[in-house]
Structure 1
Amino acid sequence: MTAPQWRRAWVEALDALEADVVAAEELLAEEHRMRDLPLTDPWQPPAGLGPLPLDLRPRADEVLRRQLAVAQQLATTITGTARQAAVLNRLDDGRDAPRPSYVDCAM
């Protein structure tokens, strides 16, 4: 693989990772869409990619930082949703409450 091909392969790999991060960030911005979109396949590096070119290191570091931030936000959102569901499950909506079987008219 020539140097330009090697660099191009890395640019394409980072483009794919960055597109995944952008998609996750958009999901967080519009939570209602999370229910409607299918899960994506995990990223796999292309075969024969080789080491990262040094001039692309800052971009790769930024993509990684954003991936970690999105993962943290997703975990926080999932935890919050689970808590809300637990609270809602404990609320008494009155549908299953026993109803009185008679009315006291002696008063």
Structure 2
Amino acid sequence: MSGRTHARACPERTCLGCRERVAKGDLLRIVMIEGECVPDRRGTLPGRGAYVHPTPVCLDLAVRRRAFARAFRGPGPYDTAALRRAVERNGSTAAR
């Protein structure tokens, strides 16, 4: 044996809003389906993913910076209504 521990590395991703690198599990994955940003909580939807903290502050920053257009490599703007509802619903359940 080499004496090394076999600790698994935790993948990191960058939040589109605050640009902070954190563990992938702490962020909400977003995919684009037919011009709409859709939350992918299980991480199984096909396509290119972008990540944001599930907070209204980071979502607002990402929208204001037009980060979704760069992340999805498209012209934008994208519909973020479903994403905003999911983030607000997440915040209301976390406050309980």
Q: Same fold (TM over 0.5)?
A: no
Larger fraction in helix: 1
Larger fraction in strand: 2
Query: Rg: which structure is higher?
Result: 1
Ranked by relative contact order (alpha carbons within 8 Å, sequence separation 6 or more), the top structure is 1
TM-score, normalised to structure 2's length?
0.30
TM-score, normalised to structure 1's length?
0.28
